Structure formats: C-alpha cells, structure tokens
Amino acid sequence: MALYTLREVLEKAEKGKYSVGMFNVLNVEMLRGIIGAAEELRSPVIIALAEVHLPFVDFEDISHLMIKAAKDADVPVVVHFDHGQSFENIVKAIHYGFTSVMIDASMESFDENVRRTKEIVKIAKVLGVSVEAELGHVGGSEGSSETTFAPEDYYTKVEDAKKFVDSTNIDALAVAIGTVHGEYKFTPKLDFKRLEEIKKSVNIPLVLHGGSGLSDDDFKKAIKYGISKINIFTDMSLAAVNSIEELLECKCNKINCEGCFGLNKPDKEKLIEIIVKKVVQEIKEMDKKERKVTYPDIIQASMEGIKEEVKKKMRVFGSVNKA
C-alpha cells in the first residue's frame, strides 16, 4: 500500500471520530512490532522518528528502513519526523522520503513560532509533505522519568489557536492541555474544556503529545473533544522492558544501572541496551549447556511486548479496522 500523508490519514480520522496512533521508532524491532500490530488489527498507523532520538540511530539508515516498511505494509502508513527543531534535519527528513514533518518552535515567541513554521510549510507543501506544528508547549522528554515540568504554565491559548493556524497553513496542530512527555510523576489532569474550545476555533486535526501514562478514559475524552492523532513512546519502551524482565525472570531494580552510559539515572529508551549488556555478561559465565536465554530471544521478547502495547492503544483509539 502506498505511503500516506498525515493530512490524508487524519482527515479520515476526523470524519470517523477516532484517533490514529503515532509510535516512535528507534530500531528494527520497534518498527516490526508497530507495523505488525497495524496489519493484524487493520489500522492506519503513523511511524515516527523524533529528532531527540537521532543520537541513538543513523538518520539516513533508519529513514530508509522506515520508508521501505511503510511501502511494504498492507495498511496506510505515515512516516513522520517528530519534534523537528533543526531546519536542516527537517529538510533532510523530507529529502529521505518522510510524508510528514513536525516543526516544533513552541518554546519560541508566538511570532517566531509562526515565522519558523511558515518557513517549513513553504518547502513541504511544494513537495506534498504534511506539516504539524505545536502551540503552547508539552514539556518533559521522550522516554524520560524526569517530569517536574508544570504543564499548566504552557497551555495552548484558545485565542491564539485560530490565528496561528490561519497564519501558517499547517495540516495539524499539537496542543498543550495538561500532558507531558515521559513518565508522569503526578496524576495528569487534562483541560478538556480548553481542548473543546480550541477545536471549535480551528478547522484542522488536533494532536495530543505525551500520551503515554494516560487512562483509557482520558484518551476517549480527548478523541471526543477533537484529538485525531496521539503520540506514544514511553509506554512502548516500558512494555519492551517488561517483556524482557518476564523472559529473564528478573526485576530491573536488581540490576545496578548507576553510572551506565555516564548517567546517574538512565533514560528508559536506553534501559533495554543496559539490560542486554548485563544479561550477555552473565550468559558468558554460564556453561553453554545451561544457557536458556539467547540474544534473539531478547529481541523477540521486546518486539512482541511493543506489538501488544501498540495493539492495546489502537483498540482504545478506535482505529481498528479503519485501514
């Protein structure tokens, strides 16, 4: 099935009153798990590479893998560049074949956000690529457990939403209504009234970042009040780690990760790599006849954990059988 743009997939989602999940990709296992879930449930899907994750992958190599997987899939797939802040990287994503890009200038002034967003729109629209932008700011970081950010400080202002959309000609708007990236250290309280008012003021699909950790009820209400795209990363990462824990019949808190990769507290997206290194070290000390877990077993476990988590989210988002 051909690659789809974000506009194509989200316009259908808006009409059908469901949401399409966007799932970040860091490696082949994540890519296979996400696409596999979408094909099994006949759901459209958005696979994404976030600019913050570029230190962990080769940009060009992972892009080619994502594009090929999308083309080979038998469901609609959008290939999206998430939270692009660098003009150069956003243009590279377009060059590599991404069908959607996000320009995130949300921490800039309103006028600067508009200026930088219009710059990307002017390039992307000529090439048929969709553009997402953010107004207000969703704090935290992808896969991080450090979320001391106070979301109410950066809520999207209703009165600014229409002006921003009209000024930029974007295809989708990411709004800040109380979510954060990464794991929540508090119970999230979403401002659904604000979301409802924003939706009434604009005529494009709305996007919810920081979806991991929300309740099913939160998701369903967000979709009811106008959200057509929901971003997920941390929940997938945790699902992969949990699957590996079960395979190894161990608890991660028994593994001393202090100092790993020069970090005091490792990011969740690195935790899989840390665990694998620890396990491989232990396996080397075992007699070959006693080995019960292999590296391919770990790969398979992480992929299956991701697939099941993605399927769970797709069912909640209402995108099953919408391909």
93 and 137 Cβ atoms separated by less than 8 Å: no
Phi first, then psi: what are they for 157, rounded to 5°?
Answer: -85, 125
**Partners of 20 in the β-ladder:** 229
Percent of the chain topping pLDDT 70: 83
* Lowest mean pLDDT segment, chosen from 57-71, 105-119, 287-301: 287-301
65 and 35 Cβ atoms separated by less than 8 Å: no
Give the per-residue pLDDT at 138: 79
Whether pLDDT at 140 is above 60: no
> Where do the structural domains in the chain lie, given as residue ranges?
3-238+305-317, 239-300
For 149, other C-beta atoms within 10 Å of its C-beta total 18
Say how far apart CA 181 and CA 269 lie, in whole Å. 13
Coil, strand or helix: which one is 292?
coil
Q: Quick one: which of 236, 280, 237 has its CA closest to 255?
A: 280
Q: pLDDT by residue (tens digit) across 249-299? A: 754 444 454 445 555 555 666 677 777 777 777 666 655 555 578 889 999
CB neighbour list of residue 250: distance below 8 Å, 6 or more residues apart: none
Annotated binding site for dihydroxyacetone phosphate: 182, 210-212, 231-234
Give the per-residue pLDDT at 182: 55
Q: pLDDT by residue (tens digit) across 24-44? A: 999 999 999 999 999 999 999
Q: Mean pLDDT throughout 50-73?
A: 97
Q: Which residue has the tokens 């940009």?
A: 59
Residue 137: pLDDT band (50, 70, 90) is confident
Give the per-residue pLDDT at 180: 77
173 and 135 Cβ atoms separated by less than 8 Å: yes
Task: Quote the distance between the C-alpha of residue 206 and its chain's center.
Answer: 15
Per the annotation, the verdict on 82 as an active-site residue is: yes
CB neighbour list of residue 303: distance below 8 Å, 6 or more residues apart: 29, 30, 32, 33, 36, 240
Q: pLDDT by residue (tens digit) across 144-199? A: 444 445 556 679 999 999 999 999 999 999 999 988 755 555 567 899 999 999 99
Whether pLDDT at 218 is above 50: yes
Q: pLDDT by residue (tens digit) across 228-239? A: 999 999 999 999
Whether pLDDT at 100 is above 80: yes
Mean residue pLDDT of the chain comes to 87
Q: Quick one: which of 133, 62, 70, 131 has its CA closest to 101?
A: 131
Say how far apart CA 302 and CA 280 lie, in whole Å. 16
Residue range 3-238+305-317, CATH number: 3.20.20.70
* Active-site position among 61, 72, 82, 160: 82
Higher pLDDT, 225 or 263: 225
Whether pLDDT at 119 is above 80: yes
Residue 130: pLDDT band (50, 70, 90) is very high
Residue 242: pLDDT band (50, 70, 90) is very high
